[in-house]
Structure 1
């Protein structure tokens, strides 16, 4: 990993470790050892410990007394729970964004869809597509303008990012062929302010992702 810069060392450590988790270089369920991380990042164990606490609040890792810290597992239960919460949040965020969104924000959604399309039409870097996917939904939550709703999204955002990244690694082609059309449809309905059916579409967008990831996991373990 790259050494941490002298910004806020706990935050820098969290950023670096998060990047490694989301990239797949640290596998789900694997142990994170403070001594090794501190040496790699060239910071103190205290900074690493604080950084891991940040990631635990995001739901990416969990710590147990005398058992250390591990990255969350990629289990069907974890996937189902996270995506069920996300489906409910996205439904509310999308419906609210349709009512409160400003022209410039709708333009930003269109820009993100165009960027997804360009990525998917080329070499289709999976990590870049997932980053654009998450950015699209960040924008929807910002459009909704509900601070508590945004906080609820941020509580599961890193877990969603992790699961989506694994979805791409397990079934890149399936994700690539769906991501653009699904987000374009959401952006079109949001701009039109068409709330009829919009909440159902937002939920199905999430549930489809959950089903796709679970099916890929089952295929992997057959």
Structure 2
């Protein structure tokens, strides 16, 4: 291979790597941050600015999206979904799982805050009434996700204490739902993605 051709190949490879990084950043923003911000802003606004019945309708709407999202990446569906994405050149299909986790935080936080305001659940310390209520309760669910990652013991390592403790059964059921509907699919999808990545790599090596 001549020197000019070699340099062109190196330049092409460098451009492809830059493009992959830019695509990853764009996907991170569009797939992870945008749905999270939309849910966070809309639910916080509806919590304080519209009749409670309409607020409940919005909470239900976001939970329908959340349930479908979790269903999509779970079990054999997740395997097929991630395999199809990986085959199309999407190297980080697990971003869909991260997006599910991030999107779920304001949804479950809004549900918790709303139930707290009508006296059906009780947290200690009390959930603030300010515009930061949903943001504050998000940390409660994020803490439980981090605590559920096997082998890392993240909260203890970071000396991060659980920001809230609940004193009623309903909060326990909601937290259990969060673990079953969000944490298990998200953690399971990481294992699925890693298996697909290894399988694809081995298949390519086996090709003549």
TM norm structure 2: 0.29
- Higher-Rg structure is 2
